Amino acid sequence: MNRTFTRRRMLQALCGLPLAMRLAHGRDAVPRRIVSMSWELTETLLLLGHVPVGLSLPDWYNSTIVEPRLPDGVVDTGLLYQPNFQVLLELAPDLLLLTPGHAPLLPALARLAPPLTLGAYIGAADPYPALLQDTRAMAAALAEQRRAEQLIDDSEHLFATTRQRLERPRRPRAVLVADLLDEHHVRLYGPGSLFDALLGKIGVDNAASRYDGLTGSAVLPLQRLAEVDDCALLLSPLAPRLSAALRDNRVWQALPVVRQGRVAQLPVIAPYGGLRSLQRFAHAVEHALLILADQETAGA
């Protein structure tokens, strides 16, 4: 574990300062009424055993993050980057979970409740360690350190066992993780994305690294998928209209991965979700690869 004083650590410490001071006063030792302004951070919050009282567009959380499920009754606080102050005031929170995108609002929000800015891992160059750091930082604020360590250990254990199971010889060894945006464009997750980090942890090659200069996620024309061979294509769920369009799309039909039948669908997984999303991702990749391998042996 890296214990040096980096700029990010300093900033995180500074962001947590108001909270730390409040904790030091001994009043309200653990925040109970938390308002979260990020779906990704809400996932981690729920994993640490706390349900927020308010969240921007709660329905969106359930449709984009999926697990752990957000209980009913969480109040909608408005747009992600423009929370409704009227609602915030009524909710009377004792902790606000913010992202770096809320920086312009920080002075105003800080007057309503102590803020805690996390989620810088979403843009980080090496997002996985940053995610762990954020998870620990949130746990520290909630006095849930033990739970966080348990969660991290469980996740690491899951990733390691998945890796072992995937180690036996199989084809294909590499995958592409992609969202289909429309019938001509696809978004790929390359090195620097959380998906890429996870693929590395479970011992699966990311075929997106074969595209020069692709870091994080990037949008490419569909036919550039023809440039990679010998890999599986893992797609996020398609709109019904799009899957109909693909059936008639001759470029799609001619892509090597499609002709070899190496296309599988993933469930909805947030590309920058918390550890639960990553566990589900590891599961889904393993599941997809096993099914594809079975199909190939059956075909052969």
Partner 1 sequence: MPDPSLPDGLRGRMALAAGLSLIAALLALLHIHSLLGASPWSSLLLATDPQDVGRMLVQETVLPRIAMALLCGAALGLAGVLVQQVLRNPLAEPMSLGIFPGAYLALVLYTLFMPEGVDAGRELVALLGGGLAILLVLMLAWPQHLSPMAVILSGMVVNLYCGAISLAIALVHFDLLLGLQIWGGGSLEQSGWASSRHLLLGLAGCGLLVWLVRRPLALLDSGESTARSLGVQVGRTRLLALLLAVLLTALVVAQVGVIGFLGLAAPTLARLLGARNLRQRLLWAPLLGAALLWTTDQLVLLATSSTLSPRVIPTGTVTSLLGVPLLVALLPRLKSLGASPWHSAWPERAGIGVPRVLALMALLLFSLWLSFMWSRSLGGWRVASLAQVQALWFWQLPQSVAAAAAGGLLALAGALLQRMTANPMASPDLLGVSAGGGLGVVALVFIAGTVSATALFLACLGGSLAALGVLLWFGRKAFTPARLLLVGIAVSAWFQAIVGALLSSGDPRAEQVLQLLMGSIYYIPASLAWLSAVVLLLALTLVPLLVRWLTALSLGEGSAASIGVPVRRARWLIVLLAGVLTAMATLLVGPLSFVGLLAPHAARLLGARKALPQLLVATLFGAVLMVLAEWLGRQLVFPQQMPAGLVATLLGGPYLILLMARQGKGAAR
Q: Which stretch binds partner 1 (CB under 8 A): 29-37, 74-82, 124-132, 140-148?
A: 74-82
Choice from 214, 232, 234, 270 touching partner 1 (CB under 8 A) = 214
- The token duo for 287 is 């599941």
Three-class SS state of 220: strand
- Residue carrying the six token digits 């055993």: 49
Shorter beta-carbon distance to partner 1: residue 160 or 219: 219
Q: Which residue has the tokens 């574990």?
A: 1
The least distance separating partner 1 from the CB of residue 249, rounded to whole angstroms, comes to 5
The span of 21-29, 35-43, 181-189, 262-270 binding partner 1 (CB under 8 A) equals 181-189
Residue count at the site for partner 1 (CB under 8 A)? 59
For partner 1, the closer of residues 37 and 289 by Cβ is 37
d(CA 242, CA 239): 5
59 binds partner 1 (CB under 8 A): no
Would you count residue 252 as binding partner 1 (CB under 8 A)? yes
Alpha-carbon distance 103 to 57, whole Å? 20
In the chain, the DSSP E strands lie at 34-36, 54-55, 75-76, 95-98, 115-117, 174-182, 185-189, 205-206, 217-221, 231-235, 263-265
Question: Which residues are at the interface with partner 1 (CB under 8 A)?
Answer: 57, 75-82, 84-87, 89-90, 100-101, 103-108, 111, 122-123, 181-185, 187, 211-214, 216-224, 226, 239-241, 248-256, 259
